[in-house]
């Protein structure tokens, strides 16, 4: 490009930063300038001498990454943090702790805002949010300024009967009602807030959704070109229950329902057989790796096998602390534990890609977000690398993955708008969000234990 085509006037200009781009063509750019016009990255490179911007930031000592794409969360489960991880599988249905089924829409909003704020402050510019009352929560999450790809939790098993008596019973009216709610959410919110809100179809799991219900979800999602997000082969009990009911593995059930394709995001994938992995790879499905949740409950997804099969692997925090920075080293360490050492297939840049561009690819947004490239949306995170644990950084991707934390995030931009500054949200009152969530959680815990 000739010098005359370099823009000199920007809305936002970043100078002297180290860019970790997640673009293999130029993964690390030092002493870089990045210019934003409107909601897009307009320039990366040397600047014209008269370059200027409304917001002109000298970010010497900082590292700038693409916004993290956290594709699978249930932010309201912040209500059981510090307890649920120690109760084994399906802690939400353990007596004495707050149950998702007892949440009012207002309770869900209060707890979801807390979890989504936590994710944003740790650098997630996009969350995949699926839970009860998500339809009520979407407008409130959107106010934080991050991208939210949401769905009502879709299932036709009656969770109340599961919680009360361990009975697994499908109820078509229950499933149809939830699907209707999600269709209404799609109609009202998909593409809203300048495209920052998208509505998915979150079929909960193969054991909590009957085959006729999965077929309905497939039809609804396909008709709208929407992503389907699910939990797949996340527990032995699920695999056994599904096998007994259908004679198929959960992956085969999704395939049979017409859901196994490039629009499917498969959460966990712990108990997948070689045939399942090959089937998923052949279909172009996406794996959502959730290493911290899995490891906290004593489980590991066979990520070396999944990666070797060529599947697009993304990262998500699910019900755990929504820190994608920390999560990258969980992904790296748990893969190396399985490999039995350090190899070329599992290096910091691989898990960095999982946390950024791979997530974007899974959502069909690889041309829009997930890397720092001219023409893409201006979604990025500024980390303060002047702190003791981040100095020196001869390989800043390695330093980021091995020693950085979400709390090192200083600024977050979404669509070129500053939504976190000095580690604090710019669009909502942090203290008010925390206080409301604390009061809600206090009440939920009081009611759960009495």
The footprint of Zn ion (CB under 5 A) covers 318
Show the 3-state SS of the chain.
Answer: CCHHHCCCEEEEEEEEEEEECCCCCCCEEEEEEEEEECCEEEEECCCCCCCEEEEEEECCCEEEEECEEEEEECHHHHHHCCCHHHCCCCHHHCCCCCCHHHCCHHHHHHHHHHHHHHHHHCCEEEEEEEECCHHHHHHHHHCCCCEEEEEEEECCECHHHHHHHCCCCECHHHHHHHHHHHHHHHHHHCCCCCCCEEECEEECECCCCCHHHHHHHHHHHHHHCCCEEEEECCCHHHHHHHHHHHCCCHHHHHHHCCCCCCCEEEEECCCCCHHHHHHHHHHCCEEEECHHHHHHCCCCCCHHHHHHCCCEEEECCECCCCCHHHHHHHHHHHHHHHHCCCCCCCCHHHHHHHHCHHHHHHCCCCCCCCCCCCCCECCEEEEECCCHHHCCCCCHHHHHHHHCCHHHEEEEEECCEEEEECCEECCCCHHHHHHHHHHHHHHHHHHHHC
Residue 316 C-beta: closest distance to Zn ion, Å: 8
Of the two residues 255 and 318, which places its CB atom closer to Zn ion in the complex? 318
Of the two residues 12 and 114, which places its CB atom closer to Zn ion in the complex? 114
Of the two residues 33 and 151, which places its CB atom closer to Zn ion in the complex? 151
Of the two residues 62 and 133, which places its CB atom closer to Zn ion in the complex? 133
Residue 318 C-beta: closest distance to Zn ion, Å: 4
CA distance linking residue 347 with residue 345, whole number of Å: 6
Residue 99 C-beta: closest distance to Zn ion, Å: 16
Residue 208 C-beta: closest distance to Zn ion, Å: 12
Residue 74 C-beta: closest distance to Zn ion, Å: 6
Of the two residues 20 and 137, which places its CB atom closer to Zn ion in the complex? 137
- Inter-residue contact 289 to 354 (CB < 8 Å): yes
Residue 110 C-beta: closest distance to Zn ion, Å: 20
Residue 381 C-beta: closest distance to Zn ion, Å: 23
Of the two residues 318 and 384, which places its CB atom closer to Zn ion in the complex? 318
CA distance linking residue 27 with residue 349, whole number of Å: 9
Residue 329 C-beta: closest distance to Zn ion, Å: 21
Of the two residues 246 and 297, which places its CB atom closer to Zn ion in the complex? 297
CA distance linking residue 53 with residue 162, whole number of Å: 58
How crowded is residue 69: how many other Cβ atoms within 10 Å of its Cβ? 30
Of the two residues 318 and 410, which places its CB atom closer to Zn ion in the complex? 318
Of the two residues 22 and 116, which places its CB atom closer to Zn ion in the complex? 116
Residue number closest to Zn ion, CB atom: 318
Of the two residues 318 and 323, which places its CB atom closer to Zn ion in the complex? 318
Residue 269 C-beta: closest distance to Zn ion, Å: 12
Residue 267 C-beta: closest distance to Zn ion, Å: 5
């Amino acid at each position: 490009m000739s010098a005359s085509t370099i823009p000199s006037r920007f809305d936002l200009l970043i100078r002297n930063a180290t860019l970790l781009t997640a673009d293999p063509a130029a993964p690390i750019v030092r002493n870089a300038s990045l210019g934003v016009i409107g909601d897009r990255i307009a320039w990366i490179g040397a600047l014209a001498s008269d370059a200027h911007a409304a917001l002109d930031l000298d970010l010497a000592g900082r590292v700038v990454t693409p916004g993290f794409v956290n594709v699978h969360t249930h932010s309201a489960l912040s209500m059981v943090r510090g307890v649920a991880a120690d109760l084994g599988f399906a802690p939400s249905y353990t007596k004495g702790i707050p149950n998702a089924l007892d949440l009012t829409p207002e309770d869900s909003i209060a707890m979801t805002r807390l979890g989504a704020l936590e994710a944003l402050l740790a650098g997630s510019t996009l969350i995949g949010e699926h839970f009860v009352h998500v339809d009520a929560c979407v407008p409130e999450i959107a106010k934080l300024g991050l991208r939210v790809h949401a769905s009502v939790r879709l299932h036709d098993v009656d969770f109340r009967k599961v919680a009360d008596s361990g009975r697994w019973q499908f109820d078509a009216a229950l499933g149809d009602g939830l699907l209707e709610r999600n269709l209404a959410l799609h109609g009202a919110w998909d593409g809203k807030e300048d495209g920052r809100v998208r509505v998915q179809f979150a079929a909960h799991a193969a054991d909590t959704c009957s085959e006729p219900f999965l077929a309905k979800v497939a039809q609804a999602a396909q008709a709208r070109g929407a992503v389907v997000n699910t939990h797949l082969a996340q527990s032995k009990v699920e695999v056994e229950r599904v096998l007994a009911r259908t004679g198929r593995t959960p992956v085969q059930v999704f395939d049979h329902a017409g859901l196994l394709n490039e629009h499917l995001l498969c959460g966990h994938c712990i108990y997948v057989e070689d045939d399942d992995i090959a089937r998923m790879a052949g279909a172009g499905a996406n794996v959502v790796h959730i290493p911290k949740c899995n490891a906290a409950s004593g489980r590991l997804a066979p990520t070396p096998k999944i990666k070797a099969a060529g599947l697009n692997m993304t990262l998500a925090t699910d019900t755990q602390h929504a820190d994608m920075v920390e999560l990258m080293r969980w992904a790296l360490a748990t893969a190396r534990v399985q490999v039995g050492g350090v190899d070329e297939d599992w290096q910091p840049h691989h898990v960095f890609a999982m946390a950024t561009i791979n997530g974007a690819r899974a959502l069909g947004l690889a041309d829009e977000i997930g890397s720092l490239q001219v023409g893409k949306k201006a979604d990025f995170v500024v980390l303060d690398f002047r702190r003791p644990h981040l100095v020196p950084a001869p390989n800043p991707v390695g330093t980021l993955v091995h020693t950085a934390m979400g709390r090192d995030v200083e600024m977050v931009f979404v669509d070129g708008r500053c939504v976190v500054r000095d580690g604090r949200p710019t669009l909502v009152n942090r203290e008010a969000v925390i206080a409301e969530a604390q009061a809600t959680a206090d009440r939920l815990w009081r009611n759960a234990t009495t």
